[in-house]
Amino acid sequence: MEGAALDRQRSVLIVDHSEETREVLQTALQRRGLQTFSASRAGPGLELARRHHPDLIVLDLELDQANPEDLSAPFAEQSRTDHTALVMLGTVRRDRAGMPEGEFVAKPYHYGPLIRRIEELLDTMPESFGPGA
């Protein structure tokens, strides 16, 4: 079964209220051979993270009109549990107390650099990440 873990397709979960952002990222990442999941709200996004254990989560911190720290906390916990990379998008300052570990991409951003950063993070991760790895 060792080969099965190596053959597993890398996956990215996109949790963003913007349909355009979700579609652009999904299309670009799928063209790069990645499996994608997406949600427009935090609750369904967290459910997808728990069900599919993606290799990387892209989280819009301005989702659901929630406090960014409160919004990111359950995703950060899931990220730690699954050894998943977490990329947070928002206008929140990087040094703000209470923010979890992870990549922070300030808005406004350009899709090209964001997609390259996602690829870089995935390239540095071991193939066998996920629960029980």
Q: What is the pLDDT of residues 9-38, one digit of tens each?
A: 899 999 999 999 999 999 999 999 999 999
Distance from C-alpha of 50 to C-alpha of 98, rounded to nearest angstrom: 23
Confidence of residue 131 (pLDDT cuts 50, 70, 90): very low
The larger pLDDT score, comparing residue 4 to residue 66, is at 66
pTM, rounded to two decimals: 0.84
Which token pair is 13?
Answer: 């979960």
Residue 127's pLDDT is what?
66
Domain 9-123 has CATH 3.40.50.2300: yes
Structural tokens at position 74:
């359950």
Closest to 52 measured CA to CA, from 100, 26, 14: 14
Give the relative orientation of helices 19-31 and 111-123 as an angle to the nearest 10 degrees. Answer: 50
Q: What is the pLDDT of residue 102?
A: 77
Give the separation between CA 84 and CA 115, rounded to whole angstroms: 17
Please tell me whether the peptide bond between 113 and the residue prior to it is cis, using omega within 30 degrees of 0: no
pLDDT interval class at 126 (50, 70, 90): confident
pLDDT digits (tens, 9 = 90+) for 51-110: 999 999 999 998 877 788 888 999 999 999 999 999 999 886 555 555 566 788 988 899
- Residue whose C-alpha is closest to residue 44's, from 25, 63, 67: 63
Residue 25 to residue 14: CA distance in whole angstroms = 8
Beta bridge partners of 39: 15
